[in-house]
Structure 1
Amino acid sequence: MKSRYLLFWTLLLVQCFALAWGSVREVALDELQPTRSQRQSTLIILKVIDEYHYKKPHLDDEMSRSILKRYLEVLDPNKSFFTQGDIDRFDVVSDRLDDDLKDARLDAAFSIFRVYRQRVDERIDYALKMLKRDFDFTIDESYRFDRQKSPWTADTAALNELWRKKVKSDVLNLKLKDKPLDEIRSTLAKRYAGIKRRTRQMDSDDVFQVFINSYTLSLEPHTSYMSPRVSENFDISMRLSLEGIGAVLKNENEYTVVQRTVVGGPAALSGQVNPGDRIIGVGQDATGEMEDVIGWRLQDVVDLIRGAKGTTVRLQLLPESEGSGGRSKLVTLVRNEIKLEDQAAKKFVIQGLGGMGSKRIGVIDIPAFYRDFQGYTEGEKDFTSTTRDVRKLLRELEQEGVDGIVIDLRENGGGSLIEATELTGLFIPSGPVVQVKNASGELEVERDPDPDQVYRGPLAVLVDRHSASASEIFAGAIQDYHRGIIIGEPTFGKGTVQTLVDLGRYVRGDKNLGRLRLTMAQFFRVNGGSTQFKGVVPDIVYPSAVQSDDLGERSLENSLPWAKIDAVNYQAQGLGPLEPYRQMHQSRIKDDPGFIYLTQVETMLKEIKAQDTVSLLEKERAVEWDQREKRRKAEKNQFLAAVGLDPEPENLDEEKSRDEPIPDQDDPVTRIMLNEAAHILADYIGGQSRAAMVN
């Protein structure tokens, strides 16, 4: 097994192309039948998973019930279309789907989908009827907008009441934004009709893909099936330059949510698009109509956002801090090609902070573990490489006379395993870096290929909840070798390896049956512990980590658990006890305005995430909006004032997008965690100097 894994296939699948999930025409109900090719694909998928999946799953009645549960959740995640009566009727196949899959019988899955499509038609017709009503917003009632943990509605009458409140809430949201009633009705009519239209455009391949992925999701979160059409679009997109806004998106309830922004992309450069923001509208060019995309499928929203380099796209965003139906903001972006060099490592120096004395701390920001595999394969001498860039920066920082170095891996979602291994080698003399165990139990140890230790000085690694995969391999190795201090938040916990399997290779002839993204191996640190699930827990944990259990791999259903194997032989270095520096850190941040602000942000987000209902009283909803916005601004401006900066603009829509990123050394919020990491490393350097003088 060769170590050429890209550790973030999900990032590539969403970031690189728009999935063409549905056809462009409405599909007749009687056309929704399984095909011979789909039955053939089913047998191959089961065979591949049985032989090569890391988990070695057992397809039985328990798994069958799990598959049905997830299939219904994918079709109706907010429990807004099916009634309990529907669920009871579907339950007759709950112990049969495992046998159906083994025999490639797909009729039950297609039958359920046909009922789903009928229910969507019924609900949308009812919603459009409700839109013609005049609502009384002085009645004290509430609407539960998040029903994922709620029971299924008892009957059609209960479902009608649910949709009456939904339509009323949607009308109120737009009314509070000063939209006239005619425009509100027009906007919502298009939104609801779009749900019906897009559901009717789903064809047999789409139904099969949804059902099979309900099976793969019952195994673990990272194994998934791509239909032939999606596979073809993937191949086309990988041959094209990556042009768009540089945002990784996911679907959450009715919203398209920004999962992360890509360094060097227009979204990140703007400074206005942040993880957790919900995209509620997309407009083309400077004056094109703003398409309401609430309720759209993820793939359709991505398709709308992507476009040619140099063209303009406008996004109506609902910030994470606004909750459901809060105040939105408009962001204008110019699509551009995201180049490898835009993600290159960068350096700067932190000095002159209170309490650090004359110490100078170098910072190397590594946004991704990048490697130009084509340039390497073609024998280019100076092919782009994270390790090569960092080696150069380390030497420059040493020439500048820094006392220590912080490697900043915040927001680094991973990349090349080779680069993670070679980068670790710059900081250790030699030895193993990570263990990779495959489904057969075979173990491969990835080792530092270069005995040259480029940097031997004081080192810290700053991580956060978004540091994943290759970042966790590097941080875990540095921690195991006691080579540096790991600081920040527990990392994402993505410790598995995926590969793409072409299903057509298992049949005669040139047949496209799609591909299976298969989890086939797991990473283990040199101390034997996995990076899976738990991630890397820092030596010094920041208080912003209080919600870490609700994030990353730990928040995903059916994630592979943390595991441990035997450690390999490696020579740990003498970092020394860290408790004194942990106590100094806690004492310093107790009254620090930056960490107070970060804690306030976390508290507000936690409150918003816990809220699953909204008032349908107009006055009460308006007060909620105002109070939340006043609180958010007061907390942000209190922090800005404490660090000597001007308050943020009064109107979010008046903010201007940037063409260049704000460097980390100039971003006051980014600097909160970074400055403290520099303080901690300076404390450590001072402690080591005092210990050397005593000895």
Structure 2
Amino acid sequence: MQRSKRVKKSLILALLTVAFSTQAISLEPSSTLRLAPTKEQAQTAYLSAQLLGRYHYKTQPLDDALSEKIFDRYLKSLDPERLFFTQSDVDAFSEARTRLDDAIQRGNLAVPFAMFQRYEQRAVERLSTAREQLKQGFDFSQKESYPYARDKAPWPRDDAEARDLWRKRAKNDWLRLKLAGKDDKAIRETLEKRYDNYLARTQRNKSDDVFQIFMNAFAMSIEPHTNYLGRSASDDFDISMRLSLVGIGAVLQERDEYITIRELVAGGPAAKSGKLAVGDRIVGVGQADGSVSDVVGSRVDEVVKLIRGTKDTKVLLDILPAESGPDGKHKLISLVRDKIKLEEQAAKKSVIKVSEGAVQRKVGVITLPTFYEDFEGRRRGDKEFRSASRDVVRLIDELKKEKVDGLLIDLRNNGGGSLREAVELTGLFIDKGPVVQQRRPDGKIGVESDDNAGVAWDGPMAVLINRGSASASEIFAAALQDYGRAPIIGESSFGKGTVQTLINLDEVAKNDKPKFGELKMTVAQFFRVNGGTTQLKGVTPDIRFPSIADPDSYGESSYDNALPWIQIDAATFKPAGNLKDVVPALQSRHQARIGKDKEFQLLLEDVAEIRRLRETKLISLNETERRKEKETQEARLKAREKGDAKDKLAAIRDDGLQSGERSLAADLAAEKARKDVKDVLLDEAARIVADEAELSNAKPQLAMREKAKAAGQAIR
């Protein structure tokens, strides 16, 4: 531990002693950069520019105009809340504003790296300012405020204004801990460690990190959903799509300078060995040859790379047990890597029982976090390849056996995934027909259709969405809405109406070994079968729920360069039902019910409070005022406490601490408490589906079911 602290201080000192004037930054290569661009990065940037300029859906020349957009987006990526740079820093960068296009095309990336180094220097200075304030203390009787929402604020004029901003930030950090009941000694120790950890993280940035940030600023300046994926990001994307990896089955977290085991995945090598426990710290990682590398002070992604590998190979872990102090006895364990299934991101089912008088109905809920698909497994012809639609079919079969009366597909915060999976999932609920239209850059329209006869579920159903439901989620929800197959419940979705493809830059360059990474590039815009698009507007729910998300800062409409909303001709399709026949009745019942539902009314109060706080953008630094606000909030929470809700609410109150500053046990307890809080919106959505089931039972069976039976079609 002593060694790592000395290393940290020497690195910080090295940053502070970098000679960095406020003159304009040179566009020529420099030997003074701590992090410098590589030859491969220059080649990657050039190749990416050629592909984006020729094949992107929204063709845009890499010229001075685009350079200015890249410049502004890069600054925002580095300092989104405008806390580090000053206006003089931005002025010093001004020569680069219209020359980043030349830098990319000529393979000279010195300037974005120099800008990043300025950011690192400012980070050291700002955190040093905050740390000095901890020694001086604060006067909480003053009437002043901290502007915590600064994304649209002007840059601090000079260092004096920046230092005052950080004084207020540190004062707010202190006051939060004080209001949570911490004494001065504990507060000072907590904040000193917080600021030191921030500085240490800054020093662990690598050349690839800078390049990743800059390339995304470049790509997203063309269109919001175009991205660059370095080798690590590309690997993570592949894992998220196939829901599996080869490793030991442990969720890791940085805590202080240790990589700590946060969770053991059931059935993985780590859990099955019985040799590891939550809270154990990994201080070294080795391979089969027996050599072990020290990983104290390393980033979690670096340690993950060392632990992952080829199936059936050995990995050695030097472990400092959870109960041991820094000088405790280590243990060396050997594990054999295996395939780990990431079930947390897979489709799941549950059943909600809804009672209405003497009648009880069961609503099956399928929660789908993402539209995953094992592309490589499908390509190889694996019979058991993993995909969202295949898992959902299995879950529907299980729910049928439980004799559910209706089905609710929960797509909240599902950001999309595989387009093919969106089409195949839609096909589980409609009997053949177009699902989505695509318009390519040349203006030609293609139609993606469900060609399989029959459905997996022909009963009452609904789809639950929110602002975080995007892309493939919107394709699915829009199709079921257009077909009249299911009412959409919730809030307006994200509004992403574009299609991306992955381009392997190494394949394009014919590299023998991976060097360049991948481009996720927008190549088409998708349209509903009715001819409209979800672009910008999203999917409008048939039954609206209160919205917590801020549309000005989250969603497609928050981007300044999003594609416009347009309309094309409708595809030829035959609706499966008419939502106009059922939605008014469902809406009427919903309104009558929530008017009497105490928990739903409390949710509406919370939403109103969140909106109020969002609009203020300032927080008082006066202790008397803050205590009064806290007491008001505490009174609101206390009025709700009953039974086990008391413990859950206590766990989510503001304690002034950030992630990793509590004990691991406290962090896990708080996380569990948040998960266990009653999902009022899900329960109400289930009640709406139960209403739909009741209404459908009072009428002839669904037209689609009758049609399928009459045609003698098998229900798949």
Aligned pairs for 1:363-374 (under 5 A) are 363-368=364-369, 369-371=371-373
2:49 aligns with 46
* Worse overlay, 36-45 or 385-394: 385-394
Among 459, 468, 473, which residue is 2:470 paired with? Answer: 468
Counterpart of 1:538 (choices 537, 541, 548) is 541
Whether 1:681 aligns to 2:681 is no
Once the two structures are superposed, the pairs formed by residues 506-525 of structure 1 within 5 Å of their partners are 506-507=508-509, 509-510=511-512, 512-525=515-528
The alpha carbon displacement at 1:161 in A equals 1.9
User: Any conservation in 2 of the 1:367–1:411 contact (CA below 8 Å)?
Assistant: no
Q: 1:209 aligns with which of 198, 209, 212?
A: 212
Q: CA RMSD in A?
A: 4.5
Rate the CA distance shift 1:187–1:287 in 2: closer, same or farther, 3 A.
Answer: farther
Structure 2 SS opposite 1:513: coil
Q: Look up the match of 2:137.
A: 134
Whether 1:166 aligns to 2:172 is no
Question: Which amino acid in structure 2 is aligned with residue 604 of structure 1?
Answer: E
C-alpha distance in structure 2 between counterparts of 1:507 and 1:563, whole Å: 36
Could you tell me whether the CA contact under 8 Å between 1:65 and 1:94 is conserved in 2? yes
Cα offset, 1:505, TM superposition: 3.4
Q: 2:85 corresponds to which residue?
A: 82
Within 5 Å, which residues of 2 pair with 1:582-621? 582-621=587-626
Structure 2 CA distance for aligned equivalents of residues 656 and 124 of structure 1: 25
Amino acid at match of 2:366: D
Matched, 1:240 2:242: no
Q: Is there any run of 5+ residues in structure 2 with no aligned partner, and where?
A: 1-10, 19-31, 255-262, 268-276, 283-297, 309-316, 323-338, 653-664, 704-716
Matched-pair identity in %: 40
User: Conserved in 1, the CA contact under 8 Å of 2:228 and 2:519?
Assistant: yes
Match of 2:361 in 1: 360
Q: Distance in 2 between matches of 1:647 and 1:121?
A: 42
Q: Which residue of 1 aligns with 2:451?
A: 449
Alignment equivalent of 1:57, drawn from 35, 60, 68: 60
Give the AA of the match of 1:360: R
The partner residue of 1:628 within 600, 618, 633 is 633
Asked if the contact 1:41–1:513 (Cα under 8 Å) also holds between the matched residues in 2, the reply is yes
Give the match's secondary structure for 1:570: coil
The answer to whether the 8 A contact 1:361-1:678 is kept is: no
Task: For 2:57 and 2:451, locate their aligned partners in 1 and report how far apart those are by CA, in whole Å.
Answer: 27
Question: Does the alignment pair 1:146 with 2:149?
Answer: yes
Distance 2:320 2:683 in 1: 33
Which of 419, 424, 433 aligns to 1:431? It is 433
RCO comparison, higher one (Cα < 8 Å, 6+): 1
Supply the distance in 2 between the matched residues of 1:342 and 1:504 (Cα, whole angstroms): 29
**Aligned partner letter, 1:675:** A
Q: Which residue matches 1:339?
A: 342
Correspondence for 2:336: none
- Residue range with higher mean Cα deviation, 103-112 or 620-629: 103-112
Bigger CA radius of gyration: 2
Structure-to-structure mapping, 1:367-446, within 5 angstroms: 367-368=368-369, 369-371=371-373, 376=378, 384-391=386-393, 394=396, 404-446=406-448
Give the drift of 1:100: 3.6
TM-score norm. by structure 2 comes to 0.71
Whole-Å separation in 2 of the counterparts to 1:446 and 1:231: 26
Superposed displacement of residue 216, structure 1: 1.7
> C-alpha displacement at 1:568, in angstroms?
1.5
In 1, the alpha carbon distance for the partners of 2:111 and 2:676 equals 58
| More divergent stretch after superposition (50-59 vs 583-592) | 583-592
Aligned-residue offset at 1:490: 1.8
User: What is the match of residue 190 of structure 1?
Assistant: 193
Q: Please report how far the alpha carbon of residue 30 of structure 1 lies from its aligned counterpart in structure 2 after TM superposition.
A: 3.5
CA distance 1:600–1:49, shift in 2 (3 Å): same
Q: CA 1:343–1:313 in 2, change beyond 3 Å: closer, same or farther?
A: farther
Question: 1:102 corresponds to which letter in structure 2?
Answer: Q
Return the offset for 1:570: 0.8
Among 223, 227, 235, which residue is 1:224 paired with? 227
Q: CA deviation at 1:386?
A: 4.4
The verdict on how the C-alpha distance between 1:312 and 1:147 changes in structure 2, with shifts beyond 3 A counting, is farther
454-463 or 427-436, larger mean C-alpha shift? 454-463
Matched, 1:669 2:680: yes
CA distance in 2, matches of 1:187, 1:64: 42
- Judge conservation of contact 2:430–2:485 (CA < 8 Å) in 1: yes
Q: Give, in angstroms, the shift of residue 373 of structure 1.
A: 5.2
1:461 partner SS:
strand
Q: What residue identity is the alignment partner of 2:481?
A: Q
Q: How far is the alpha carbon of 1:411 from its aligned partner?
A: 4.1
Equivalent position SS for 1:129 = helix
Instruction: Please state whether the residue corresponding to 1:523 is helix, strand or coil.
Output: strand
Return the offset for 1:185: 3.1
* Superposition deviation, residue 141 in structure 1: 2.1
- In 2, Cα distance between equivalents of 1:161 and 1:658: 37
Q: Is the 8 A contact 1:490 1:545 kept in 2?
A: no
Which secondary structure state, in structure 1, belongs to the residue aligned with residue 190 of structure 2?
helix
CA distance in 1, matches of 2:408, 2:62: 47
Q: Secondary structure at the match of 1:352?
A: strand
2:437 maps to a residue whose letter is Q
> How far does residue 509 in structure 1 lie from its aligned partner after superposition?
4.7
Residue 44 of structure 1 and its aligned partner are, at CA, apart by 0.7
Q: Distance in 1 between matches of 2:189 and 2:690?
A: 56
**What secondary structure, in the 3-state scheme, does the structure 2 residue paired with 1:499 have?**
strand
Q: Decide which of 558, 564, 576 is 2:567's aligned counterpart.
A: 564
Q: What is the alpha-carbon distance in structure 2 between the residues aligned to residue 656 and residue 209 of structure 1?
A: 30
Post-superposition offset of 1:47: 0.5
Shift of 1:478: 1.1
Superposed displacement of residue 168, structure 1: 2.5
Mind listing any 5+ residue stretches in structure 1 that lack a counterpart? 1-23, 250-261, 267-283, 290-298, 315-335
Letter in 2 for 1:367: L
Residues 186-228 of structure 1 show CA distances to partners (whole Å, capped at 9, x for unaligned) of 4333333344444344344433332222222222332222345
Q: Is the 8 A contact 2:354 2:687 kept in 1?
A: no
Question: Retained in 2: the 8 A contact 1:544–1:598?
Answer: no
Q: How far apart, in 1, do the equivalents of 2:539 and 2:498 lie?
A: 14
How far apart are the structure 2 equivalents of 1:618 and 1:393? 53
The aligned residue for residue 101 of structure 1 is 104
Tell whether the 8 Å contact from 1:348 to 1:665 is kept in structure 2 after alignment.
no
SS of residue in 2 equivalent to 1:132: helix
Aligned to 1:275: none
The 1:417/1:665 distance shift into structure 2, 3 A limit, reads farther
Q: CA deviation at 1:91?
A: 2.5
Query: What's the CA shift string for 1:260-280, capped at 9, x where partnerless?
Result: xx9x999xxxxxxxxxxxxxx
Return closer, same or farther for 1:602/1:286 CA change in 2, 3 Å cut-off: same
Please give the alpha-carbon distance, in whole angstroms, between the structure 2 residues aligned to 1:213 and 1:629.
42
